[in-house]
Amino acid sequence: MKRTLYNALLSWKQSKKRKPLLLQGARQVGKTYLVNQLGKNEYINFVYLNFEQNPDLSTLFKRELSPKKIIENISLYFGIKINSTGTLLFFDEIQAVPQVLTSLKYFYEQAPEYHVIAAGSLLGVSIGKETPFPVGKVNFMTLYPMSFAEYLIAFGEELLFEKLRKINIIEALPDLIHEKLLRHVKTYMFLGGMPEALQDYLENKDISSVRQIQNEILEAYKRDFSKYTDKNQALKISQLWDSIPSQLAKENKKFKYSEVRKKSRANDFQQTIEWLKKAGLINIVYNISLPKLPLAGYTDNSKFKIYMHDTGLLGAILNLSSNVILDPTELFQEYNGAFTENFVAMELIAGGYDKLFYWTSKSEAEVDFIIQKENKIYPVEVKSGLNRNIKSLRSYAEKYDPDLIYRLSPRNFIQSEIFINIPLYAINYLKQK
């Protein structure tokens, strides 16, 4: 399936300032598949080393980290001649062998002509833990679960994708097309963005098969909790991870430590939250009480919401019925809008927003997301149903006089003075430029 990050990888390949590339992302988001496609399509030779599947490969990096010696050893092992122009070296699951991460520094300094990509499902967790990080010596990219735009392309809806991508004037779509896109976004929320799950549904149209894949992915995550942390931390990670759906069930979705474990406090779980964040499994939305630039400077780090990185996996944890596809209107009402807000958080992160924020004004009002586009700040309210209430947006507008206020909802495109309603399927309109 096509991924938008592929074009970024092509730019990396052609760049004169290319460094070894670290590709980050949660397990099962498609990192290995994407780099394999790049290697097979764009290079004469593609050399793949998976250090988790074949731990013995670590011996190629143990005696010395000279790129010349490493390349010689890899050539001898695979029986192919590796040159600097037509070969892509792909080091996968490098969190299993810290020396591989260190070697990237020497590839940059001593052999920058070679094309090297390294990836790891828990790379963010491992960096700096057991080995010094090669600061300034690598390029970074992150692969997320497939976005709604990528879903449309995978499902053969390139024309719809192009239409949404080019929208720059707020004008309602014909009802028939609007309803078709709503059906797609509801289906996407249930299936989520894990490539294996989407591919399986494309081929078999079997919801139970998709749910089995989702449960297997969740089980793999649980195994990672134990494999890459000590026993005490693994228990905390499991407890916090399992609490996320119940946290999102609340009307006020602010994260509470006491709902993970009674009488627990921030100090008990700060490291746990950081682990899940670095593993790419959660998206955090931080509270701000004053929307000024830079937004990060006005963040209250003690108040935040935690969303899962994939709505399909959220549905699997909840064992959400497949009736939401047979009767898709249920999905938008399910779980106090948790799926809709989770979807929006996923799309904003994939759209270039490195950090997410929400706004509260005492107990009077709350706006789900505050975004920055260029040097402007905009409030974004998320509605899971057709409710027209925008009280919180109006409250925000009265206080801060923004140029525009946005609502994301199942309604069609609407604009009235500074108010703009964007259909959920067109969230790409808010993409970070």
Q: According to the model, what pLDDT value does residue 123 have?
A: 73
Report the 10 Å Cβ neighbour count for 365. 18
- The residues pairing with 423 across neighbouring beta strands, listed in sequence order, are 409
Q: Supply angle C-alpha 274, 275, 279, rounded to 5.
A: 115
Instruction: Give the model confidence (pLDDT) of 257-284 as tens digits.
Output: 999 999 899 999 999 999 999 999 999 9
Tell me if 370 sits within 8 A of 290, measured CB to CB.
Answer: no
CA distances from 315 to 149, 222, 308, 324, 325 (A): 20, 17, 10, 10, 12
Is 335's pLDDT higher than 80? no
Average pLDDT over residues 128-135: 65
User: Band of the pLDDT at 128, cuts 50, 70, 90?
Assistant: low
Tell me if 134 sits within 8 A of 104, measured CB to CB.
Answer: yes
- DSSP of 333-378, one letter per residue? HGGGGHHHHHHHHHHHHHTT-SSEEEEEETTTEEEEEEEEETTEEE
Considering all CA atoms of the chain, what is the largest pairwise distance in Å, rounded to the nearest integer?
Answer: 70
Is 251's pLDDT higher than 90? no
User: Band of the pLDDT at 120, cuts 50, 70, 90?
Assistant: confident
Nearest Cα residue to 29 out of 162, 153, 142, 111: 142
**Could you give the residue ranges of the DSSP H alpha helices within 228-265?**
231-249
Tell me if 22 sits within 8 A of 100, measured CB to CB.
Answer: no
Nearest Cα residue to 106 out of 20, 48, 35, 46: 20
Q: According to the model, what pLDDT value does residue 131 have?
A: 61
Is 406's pLDDT higher than 80? yes
Q: Which amino acid is at 277?
A: K
CA distances from 384 to 112, 166, 220, 424 (A): 50, 25, 31, 9
Q: According to the model, what pLDDT value does residue 152 have?
A: 98
Is 141's pLDDT higher than 70? yes
Strands 365-373, 419-423: parallel, antiparallel or unpaired by DSSP? unpaired
Is 129's pLDDT higher than 70? no
d(CA 428, CA 149): 8
| CATH 3.40.50.300 at 5-142, yes or no | yes
Q: Per mean pLDDT, which range of 34-43, 133-142, 168-177, 330-339 is the poorest?
A: 330-339
DSSP code, position 410: S
* pTM, to two decimals: 0.93
Nearest Cα residue to 5 out of 36, 46, 34: 34
Q: According to the model, what pLDDT value does residue 63 have?
A: 80
Q: According to the model, what pLDDT value does residue 322 have?
A: 77
Tell me if 221 sits within 8 A of 281, measured CB to CB.
Answer: yes
CA 19 to chain centre: 23
Tell me if 43 sits within 8 A of 9, measured CB to CB.
Answer: no
d(CA 187, CA 176): 17
User: Band of the pLDDT at 16, cuts 50, 70, 90?
Assistant: very high
The dihedral of CA 423, 387, 307, 187: what is its sign? negative
pLDDT above 70: percentage of residues in the chain: 97
* CATH 3.40.50.300 intervals, the chain: 5-142
Q: In this structure, what token pair is assigned to residue 104?
A: 């990237």
Strands 21-24, 139-142: parallel, antiparallel or unpaired by DSSP? parallel
Report the 10 Å Cβ neighbour count for 399. 14
Is 127's pLDDT higher than 70? no
Average pLDDT over residues 31-49: 97
Tokens 């935040």 belong to 304
d(CA 50, CA 338): 37
